[in-house]
Amino acid sequence: MQQMWGAVVWQKIKRPRLGDLACKLDWLDAIDIKNILRQRQKGELFGEFALRTGLLSSYQRLVLLGRQKLLQPRIGDYFIEKGILSSSRLDAMEKALREHNRRYWFTRDSSFGVAAKKKGY
C-alpha cells in the first residue's frame, strides 16, 4: 500500500502545473499565477479559483485539465523508476488491462454499455 501512495504522490509532483500550462497558452501571466496562489482559499484548487474569479473560462479550465492529464507521467513509470517493474512487464500489464476493459465494456449489463455496443463504440 505504501508503494501505491508513493506512486500517487510521485505522479502528482511530476504532473505539469495548471498555471504553467496556462502561461504557455497565453491565458495567464506570471502576475495572474502569483495572485491566484496568494488569494485562493485554503483547499481551493488553482483552476477553481481562476474560474470563480473570471481569470479562466470553463472551456479554458477543461482544456488545461485535459492537457495536464495527457502530459502527466503514467503511474506505472514510478514502478519502473523504482525497479519494481520492468518496462516490458508494465507494457504487458497495460495490454492485459485494456483487453479486460474491452471485454468487460461490451459484456456488462448496463444501458449505456448496451447502447455503446449497438452503436459500434
pLDDT band at 115 (very low <50, low <70, confident <90, very high): very low
**66 part of a folded domain:** yes
- Provide the domain limits for residue 32: 17-71
**pLDDT value at 112 more than 80:** no
96 located within any domain? no
Three-class SS state of 54: coil
How many domains in the chain?
A: 1
The predicted-structure confidence for 11-67, as pLDDT tens digits, reads as follows 999 999 999 999 999 999 999 999 999 999 999 999 999 999 999 999 999 999 999
Over the stretch 56-107, which tens digit does the pLDDT of each residue have? 999 999 999 999 999 999 888 999 999 999 999 999 999 999 999 888 876 6
- Structural domain includes residue 85: no
**Residue 63 falls within a domain, yes or no?**
yes
- Does some domain include residue 54? yes
Task: State the pLDDT at residue 4.
Answer: 87
